[in-house]
Amino acid sequence: MINVAIFASGKGTNAENLMRHFANDTRIKIKLVITNKDDAGVVERAEKYKKIIQIISKEALNNYTDKIVEFLKGEKIDLIILAGFLLKIPEALIKAFPNKMVNIHPSLLPKYGGKGMYGMHVHKAVIENKEKESGITVHFVNEEYDNGKIILQAKCDVLESDIPETLSKKIHDLEYEYFPKAIEKLL
């Protein structure tokens, strides 16, 4: 069985979708949820699924990376899934889990990736640039923002009538459908 830690900073809808999807799967166990915000929506969602929750501040993530790696290894974590985790992952943590850390990004990378490109920032840029399609990218994490090897991409049309909010809805629908499939692909 593969033990998973989900890292999330926000509402946790993708994290909850993964917890629900894999709840009875014998190949994978979502063992714990790590967040950098004690008031993040993901905390309540993780509690609902009776997951271990760990709050790790930005300072702790950057200054005590070795202790975090030690904790994750002690929990026998095999795979880390970033589901809306907005902090840059320290290099030491990436090196401790080579090709064992996965992220989801709300665009078709390499377009609209990099520092500061998350959530509505991405959707606004896609619409401002009059793109005809957008989508999601699930990829391995490396030392550069949104630059790891692509595992899966899924697309949607961008209509002239779309605004960031309608595009966001389309992207969320793709995330809910394809993020679990990307993780299954790794199993």
The CATH number assigned to the domain holding 45 equals 3.40.50.170
Model's pTM, two decimal places?
0.94
What pLDDT, on the 0 to 100 scale, is given for residue 187? 87
pLDDT tens per residue across span 57-85: 999 999 999 999 999 999 999 999 999 99
In percent, how much of the chain has pLDDT > 70? 100
Peptide bond into 106 cis (omega under 30): no
Considering the domain architecture, whether residues 39 and 122 belong to the same structural domain is answered as no
The label of the residue with tokens 């002690």 reads 74
Q: Which of 105, 121, 123, 172 is catalytic?
A: 105
Cβ neighbours of 80 (radius 10 Å): 22
**Tens of pLDDT, residues 95-149:** 999 999 999 999 999 999 988 899 999 999 999 999 999 999 999 999 988 999 9
How many angstroms separate the CA atoms of 85 and 59, rounded?
Answer: 15
Instruction: Establish whether 123 is a catalytic residue.
Output: no
Residue 86: what pLDDT?
Answer: 86
Are 74 and 166 contained in the same domain? no
Q: Verify that 171 and 112 share a domain, yes or no.
A: yes
* pLDDT over threshold 90, residue 11: yes
Residue 166 belongs to domain spanning: 105-137+151-187
For 146-184, the pLDDT digits (tens) are 999 999 999 999 999 999 999 999 999 999 999 999 999
